[in-house]
Structure 1
Amino acid sequence: MVQLNQQNLLIVVRQGQAAVRVAEAQLKEAEVKVENLKKERERLANLLKKNVISQQKYDDIDTAYSMAVTRMEVIRAQILSTRENLAMANQKLRDTVIIAPFSGLIVKRFINQGEYVSTMPPSPLFLIMNIDKVKTKISLPEIHIDHIHIGNPVDVTVDTYPGIIFKGKVSTINPMVDPVSRAFTVNVEIPNKDHRLKPGMFARVKIYPTIHKSALIVPFKSVIKREGNTVVFVIEGNTVRLRAITAGITNEKEIEVIDGLKEGEEVAIEGHYGMADKTQVRVERE
């Protein structure tokens, strides 16, 4: 929270409050006077009809009543104006207290005590950071994009605290690959309640990819593309059969097969590029 000099504004607010109280008292007095003159005017109007009083006497009370009503309306207008001025003064007073939008630490100050600041355009005062949670940004080669998912656990280490592992998780994944580096950006979020991790620290990150238990895998080089389909050649005796599969995650050595292949079936891993379906082969097992 920042508090600017309030002395002059406090004086204006107090003067405005006093002016409102005075005007309200004057209004009450004027209203009483108008009510009394109204009653007297009505009484004299009845006497005038009976020719008990002169026209001049009635005209005098009628004029006094009209002037009292006018003064009452003037006071009411003054009260509205005074209240508007007071509201503006109160707003300016509130503006002297600047409250941060969130709790955090001041990491940079842009002004010094006694400097003037403006609201249009707004003058930056401080740079505030909440480091209860910190984030680190890493770039990964595009070949790993199938392995990484939001929520994957992450180990983070920094040189400042050797031997200490900070636990985090993948928070966001940018799906767009950088056309130059062929890498995609991953953001990692790390709880930091004790504030040991500071903004700008260099970090090393180990991401634990999604684990597929009991996954059916085949050598990476056994899988090829044919007419837009992912296929393998299944060995049946001395013949190979072309079969479409649904591939899962890969580590460039092995690839997961989600559908299209059963456990125990053998696939060709050499010499099958350009091979046709139902080709006779001589199988050499590794």
Structure 2
Amino acid sequence: MRPSVVAIAALCVLGAGAYAYVSGALPVAVSRPIDGALAALNGSGTVPVEAAPKTRAKPRPIPVEVAVAKTATPRTEIQSIGSIQADEAVAVAAEQEGRIVAIDFTEGEAVKAGALLVKLDDSLLAAQVDDLKARLTLAEQNYERANTLSGSGAGTVRARDEARSGLIIAQAAVNLLQSRLDKTSIRAPFDGIMGLRSVSVGAFLKVGDVIASIDKIDQVKVDFSVPEKDLAALSVGLPVEVAVDAYPGRVFTGEIYAIAPQIDVNGRAVRVRGRLPNPDGLLRPGLFARVTVVGEGRDSIVMVPEAAIVPRGVDHLVYRVADGTAAESKVTLGRRADGMVEILSGVAAGDVVVTAGQTRLGKGTPVETVGADGHPIVPTES
């Protein structure tokens, strides 16, 4: 019986409200719930409660790290391997036979051009030169006498000519033996560093016997080969960068000064020679060299960090950020260098690209750009 009482009470209240609503005694704001209540009243005598309207919450932005696509003017490079050579290098050898009486150089030390390196015994040659010089003096006197007599008519022209021939022969003999005497003093042909000697004092040298090497290394050469396909990119004067294992992380610079006129038919490559300043003498002949030929720069290109590239099957994607949302862009890649990759199409210079956090992104995903420390940032092109 209680539900009936409740229903009667509700009808009374609604009736009073309806009267006030019809008569205009209630304001509109109050009357609207009553309208709903009247319409909703059903035969069960109960009044259903209207559900509150639902509102969809906006998705939270996903934090991502970003970078700005930059323009760059890359350089054309040709990589090769080669070896360091001395600017000048010879094996110092004996030109006159004789016994060594003195060695006047220290192995591994620098010498000046013309410095005495080795002295051979010259006593016999010196005596022979003195003998020939005496003969030369006599020939000069004979010629002067014959010339005087010929001029006065007391001598013949033939006698004068024979005396002159004797003088010339005597002078030639002195010059020849003096040259042999001079070669008993073996001297440095140019400024350089002496190598390790292979002779000692007292050794008898024959013509051609090697004493030691001498290398000029205040500047050095680098010999290397370049594939024939890169021949058109080579020219005298192009810069070269050389790295050697002896000095990790250090790069020595120079330039090409000679290109061989022929192609090696076996290796299909052309030999190239560069020259490098070497004032400290750090580069030594024979060092293995990694050579980079630096060509002329190409047109400006667009570069992004490699971390921005997202592989998808055979394609590559980049997420660009604009107006707080991410958008996929299919890109075509070019060369890679130093953690950057060339973008041939799909991204323009100045575009903001995602470099970390791509796995949670889709088309139109709201994003918040943050730095590596997680704090929000405003990306700027640097």
Structure-1-length-normalised TM-score: 0.49
Larger radius of gyration: 2
Structure with larger RCO (C-alpha < 8 A, sep 6+) = 2
Structure-2-length-normalised TM-score: 0.38
Question: If each structure's helix is expressed as a fraction of its own residues, which one has the higher value?
Answer: 1
